[in-house]
């Protein structure tokens, strides 16, 4: 296993923190996959350490890293803002995107089969991106979001063109209760002929949530059917909240 060394805070010996790809490889994927099948979302506790979170959010103002900035209120998306990273993605973002994709491909392919969607996904993220880019979806979609008091993110789906990878990941970079209150990660799921079902995912700093982008199959007594999902963030009561969003498909012009 390759490691990068990081000094432990306070007294004690330096601790070796496994590189991100190794940490992702060592996650309990069978149970995460079962959670995704059952609920359409799965929580990875402490995927990033506090230092990694701080590093990422502290570079929000560095515009050399980003291709564009979106003021959410201007588009009716909510309140707050976000920035899309430019290529080349900074190290941890690229590593997260490349390493989280392979363990999700099997679920994505299985879900498409159950929903009778003919698209199947290649094993490597580079190959999937080549498909996006060949179809004109070549702008990077990973993003950093920033919320302040009273900011929120309306329920939405991150679709950017014909090519869609059906799962995405968000990592909370701030500390609930200390950096902000409110600002909960919310998912809704609409089943045919039923009212929408809400779900709140309780995230702590460094936790990641894997969730369905727009559709997933649910197995019922008469076979499987397709449900429609959206995600968003409830209103912050105070403070500042940053999130890293990892979307696997790229965006069209
Ligand atoms: O800030 C959040 O928790 C939600 C971010 C989001 O919409 C996304 O990552 O696609
Ligand atoms: Fe989103």
Q: pLDDT tens-digit profile of 96-131?
A: 999 999 999 999 999 999 999 999 999 999 999 999
Q: What is the model's pLDDT at position 1?
A: 46
Q: Could you tell me if residue 2 is inside a domain?
A: no
| CA-to-CA dists, residue 127 to 91, 132, 149, 249, angstroms | 19, 9, 41, 11
Q: Is the CB of 158 under 6 A from ligand 1?
A: yes
Q: pLDDT tens-digit profile of 212-229?
A: 999 999 988 888 899 999
In this structure, the residue with its CA closest to atom 9 of ligand 1 is 245
Q: Which pairs count as long-range contacts for 12-18, CB under 8 Å and 24+ apart, including other chains?
A: 17/49
Q: Could you tell me if residue 3 is inside a domain?
A: no
Q: Is the CB of 245 under 6 A from ligand 1?
A: yes
In this prediction the ipTM stands at 0.99
Q: What is the model's pLDDT at position 2?
A: 47
Q: Which domain holds residue 66?
A: 17-246
Q: Is the CB of 142 under 6 A from ligand 1?
A: no
Q: Could you tell me if residue 164 is inside a domain?
A: yes
Q: Ligand 1: which of 60, 153, 155 to mutate, judged by most atoms within 8 Å of the beta carbon?
A: 153
Q: What is the model's pLDDT at position 248?
A: 98
Backbone region of residue 242 per phi and psi (left: phi > 0; alpha: psi in -120 to 50; beta: other values): beta
Q: What is the CATH number of the domain that holds 133?
A: 2.60.120.620
Q: Could you tell me if residue 59 is inside a domain?
A: yes
**What crossing angle do the helices spanning 50-58 and 91-100 adopt, rounded to 10°?**
120
Domain count, the chain: 1
Q: Could you tell me if residue 252 is inside a domain?
A: no
Q: Could you tell me if residue 5 is inside a domain?
A: no
In this structure, the residue with its CA closest to atom 10 of ligand 1 is 245
Q: Could you tell me if residue 12 is inside a domain?
A: no
Check: pTM over 0.90? Answer yes or no. yes
Q: What is the model's pLDDT at position 30?
A: 97
209 C-alpha vs ligand 1 centroid, how far in Å? 10
Beta carbons of 164 and 215 less than 8 angstroms apart: no
Q: What is the model's pLDDT at position 31?
A: 97
**Residue pLDDT tens, the chain, 253 long:** 444 444 444 445 556 778 999 999 999 999 999 999 999 999 999 999 999 999 999 999 999 999 999 999 999 999 999 999 999 999 999 999 999 999 999 999 999 999 999 999 999 999 999 999 999 999 999 999 999 999 999 999 999 999 999 999 999 999 999 999 999 999 999 998 899 999 999 999 999 999 999 999 998 888 889 999 999 999 999 999 999 999 999 999 8
State the closest ligand 1 atom to the C-alpha of 169, by its place in the atom list counted from 1.
9
Q: Could you tell me if residue 9 is inside a domain?
A: no
């Amino acid at each position: 296993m390759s490691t990068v060394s990081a000094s432990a805070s306070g007294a004690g010996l330096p601790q070796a923190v496994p590189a991100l790809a190794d940490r992702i490889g060592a996650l309990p994927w069978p149970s995460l996959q079962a959670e995704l099948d059952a609920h359409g979302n799965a929580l990875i506790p402490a995927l990033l350490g506090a230092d990694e979170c701080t590093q990422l959010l502290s570079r929000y103002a560095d515009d050399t890293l980003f291709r564009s900035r979106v003021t959410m209120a201007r588009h009716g998306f909510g309140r707050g803002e976000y920035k899309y990273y430019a290529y080349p993605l900074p190290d941890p973002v690229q590593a997260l995107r490349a390493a989280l994709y392979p363990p999700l491909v099997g679920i994505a392919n299985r879900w498409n089969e159950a929903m009778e969607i003919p698209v199947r996904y290649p094993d490597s993220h580079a190959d999937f991106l080549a498909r996006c880019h060949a179809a004109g979806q070549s702008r990077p979609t990973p993003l950093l979001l920033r919320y302040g008091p009273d900011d929120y993110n309306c329920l939405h789906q991150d679709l950017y063109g014909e090519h869609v990878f059906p799962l995405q990941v968000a990592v909370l970079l701030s500390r609930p209760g200390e950096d902000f209150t409110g600002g909960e990660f919310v998912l809704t799921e609409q089943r045919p002929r039923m009212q929408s079902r809400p779900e709140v995912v309780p995230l702590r700093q460094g936790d990641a949530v894997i969730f369905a982008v727009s559709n997933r199959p649910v197995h019922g007594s008469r076979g499987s059917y397709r449900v429609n999902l959206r995600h968003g963030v409830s209103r912050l009561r105070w403070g500042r909240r940053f999130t890293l969003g990892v979307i696997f498909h790229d965006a069209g012009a």
